[in-house]
Amino acid sequence: MDGARPEAVEYDAVVLGAGPTGENVADRLRAAGLSTAVVEGELVGGECSYWACMPSKALLRPAIARAEARRVPGLRQAVQGPLDAGAVLAHRDDNTSHWKDDGQVAWLDSTGARLYRGVGRLDGPRRVVVDGPGGERHILTARHAVAVCTGSRAVLPDLPGLDGAGAWTSREATSAQAVPGRLVVIGGGVVGVEMATAWQALGSRVTLLVRSGGLLPRMEPFVGEQVADALTEAGATIRWDTSVTSVEREGGTGPVTLVLGGGERIEADEVLFATGRAPRTDDLGLETIGLEPGSWLPVDDSCRVEGSEWLYAVGDVNHRALLTHQGKYQARIAGAAIAARAQGVPLLETDRWGAHSATADRAAVPQVVFTDPEAAAVGLSLAEAEAAGHRVRAVDHDIATVAGASLYGVGYRGRARMIVDLDREILLGVTFVGPGVGELLHSATVAVVGEVPIERLWHAVPSYPTISEVWLRLLETYRQE
């Protein structure tokens, strides 16, 4: 370059980040006729496509399918051998498009949005500087909005020896090209239990270290108990109330040694830290608009950053619900809100579709954990409902007693719980754990989001013989108590 400052290119909106959230914001903006630039420093498709949802579920599906097959008479003897780890990893690679984003780029191009490769940073109000490959630089300005959709990153604790130890985060755990003989997983949340499930099934000897509480602490306690039992039966070791004080690994290669709180030392081939997320806002230029680098960005229900007329934060960065489907939901809301404001259309909180106001990322967030058994929940747990001051009743039922559970084979274990608001007689939350329960979750989400009266749910007849008949049993239990 000759050092000349490039001329600014103006768009109606600039989107920072081309993961699922950013892609959907751009799609909505283009559908509304707004010129849109999208800036991405890594792969179009983001974390979910290459290092989270898709590769993790590709690793987990063979483990879950084999576990379910082993419970079915007439089939169990045929599936007693080990998984073909090479085939599983190859299928995972196919699901990530081998970490190439050509297909995602083609889709983004089809919307009419302009893609800029490089690191985008804010440079004052409505202005973005993009440092691209080969030293090229672009300056983009936004007439109406800049949408920050940069997601979140894994957080590593501040431990002696951890730097340079080659520890895994969720990225390495979902993209590793070989099965470690011994894997230590630190953390009992979703990433920890899913990756412990996957790698144990692929042949690793997994040790799961949990500092406090049980597994999956944001769900009902019985969920973590059943997942812990299943992991232990599969051969994993779970160490409770265990903390790590330091990490040792010479030259970043060879075995890694973890020093525990009591001085005990554990050796493994790899260690995964699944210990939380932080927003990708530390190198975003937030300081140029009076915001703190590295901070979460609080927003209103249209995903507009509090105190701003033009800045939006959509998906993980606003810390409302760190889930891909919730980020895409917010993207639809934010895209519609930006377009309406750009066109001078008032945002009505009571518009027919609620198109400009995100609510489902606070009141009724659904999530499936793809372990064996599966865990699925939406809305409030019993503890959360009581803490919020609701007068509630928890209604439980053993899914194994439902006729459809017998079709899953011998030894089905599962449990369902619904949290009933006794004053309004609607559901505030529903939780399932057991094989196949992920497919029950959307019915629960509709019931919770729609605030369907229990007297109407009684007339929503589940098909026989499916495990969805647990709905009937839950309602019967509620009426009898």
Identify each DSSP E strand in 218-330 by its residue range: 237-240, 244-248, 256-260, 265-268, 270-273, 277-279, 311-313
- The answer to whether residues 26 and 138 belong to one domain is yes
- The answer to whether residues 261 and 386 belong to one domain is no
User: In the structure encoding, which two tokens stand for residue 3, read together?
Assistant: 């050092």
DSSP state at residue 350: T
Reply yes or no on whether the pLDDT at 91 is more than 80.
yes
What percent of the residues of the chain are helix, what percent strand, and what percent coil, each to the nearest 5? Answer: 35, 25, 40
Q: Does some domain include residue 398? A: yes
- The pLDDT tens digits of the residues spanning 350-408 come to 455 566 778 888 879 999 999 999 999 999 999 999 999 999 999 999 999 999 999 99
Query: Are 205 and 183 within 8 A, CB to CB?
Result: yes
- The answer to whether residues 181 and 302 belong to one domain is no
CA gyration radius, the chain: 24
- The answer to whether residues 305 and 218 belong to one domain is no
Mean local confidence (pLDDT), 299-307: 95
Mean pLDDT taken over the chain: 95
Cα 34 to chain centroid distance, Å, stands at 29
Mean local confidence (pLDDT), 331-356: 80
- The answer to whether residues 147 and 189 belong to one domain is no
Beta strands 137-148; 311-313: pairing state: parallel
Query: Are 385 and 377 within 8 A, CB to CB?
Result: no
Q: Does some domain include residue 298? A: yes
- The answer to whether residues 268 and 388 belong to one domain is no
- The answer to whether residues 263 and 238 belong to one domain is yes
Phi/psi for 114 (5° steps) reads -100, 125
List of residues 6+ apart from 217 with CB closer than 8 A: 188, 189, 224
- The answer to whether residues 20 and 149 belong to one domain is yes
- The pLDDT tens digits of the residues spanning 187-209 come to 999 999 999 999 999 999 999 99
- The answer to whether residues 404 and 427 belong to one domain is yes
User: What pLDDT, on the 0 to 100 scale, is given for residue 357?
Assistant: 79
Q: DSSP string of 33-56?
A: T--EEEEESS-TTHHHHHTSHHHH
Query: d(Cα 341, Cα 355) in Å, to the nearest integer?
Result: 13
Query: d(Cα 301, Cα 224) in Å, to the nearest integer?
Result: 32
User: What pLDDT, on the 0 to 100 scale, is given for residue 213?
Assistant: 87
- The answer to whether residues 313 and 392 belong to one domain is no
CATH code (residue 176): 3.50.50.60
Reply yes or no on whether the pLDDT at 14 is more than 60.
yes
User: What pLDDT, on the 0 to 100 scale, is given for residue 351?
Assistant: 56
Q: Does some domain include residue 79? A: no
- The answer to whether residues 379 and 469 belong to one domain is yes
Spatial CA neighbour of 233 closest among 189, 201, 263:
201
Q: Does some domain include residue 227? A: yes
Reply yes or no on whether the pLDDT at 248 is more than 60.
yes
- The answer to whether residues 389 and 410 belong to one domain is yes
Query: Are 358 and 320 within 8 A, CB to CB?
Result: yes
CATH code (residue 422): 3.30.390.30
The domain boundary, picked from 258, 275, 292, lies at 275
Structurally, the chain folds into a number of domains equal to 3
Reply yes or no on whether the pLDDT at 249 is more than 50.
yes
User: In the structure encoding, which two tokens stand for residue 157, read together?
Assistant: 């604790």
DSSP state at residue 63: H
The domain boundary, picked from 327, 342, 357, lies at 342
Range of the domain at 443: 373-480
- The pLDDT tens digits of the residues spanning 406-453 come to 999 999 999 999 999 999 999 999 999 999 999 999 999 999 999 999
Residue 210's DSSP bridge partners are: 240
Q: DSSP string of 353-392?
A: T-TT---TTTS---EEE-SSS-EEEEE--HHHHHHTT--E
pLDDT band for position 1 (cuts 50, 70, 90): very low
Q: Does some domain include residue 161? A: no
Reply yes or no on whether the pLDDT at 132 is more than 80.
yes
Q: Does some domain include residue 58? A: no
Q: Give the three-state DSSP class for 187.
A: coil
The amino acid at residue 39 is V
Mean local confidence (pLDDT), 49-63: 97
Mean local confidence (pLDDT), 159-185: 96
User: What pLDDT, on the 0 to 100 scale, is given for residue 252?
Assistant: 74
148: left (phi over 0), alpha (psi -120 to 50) or beta: beta
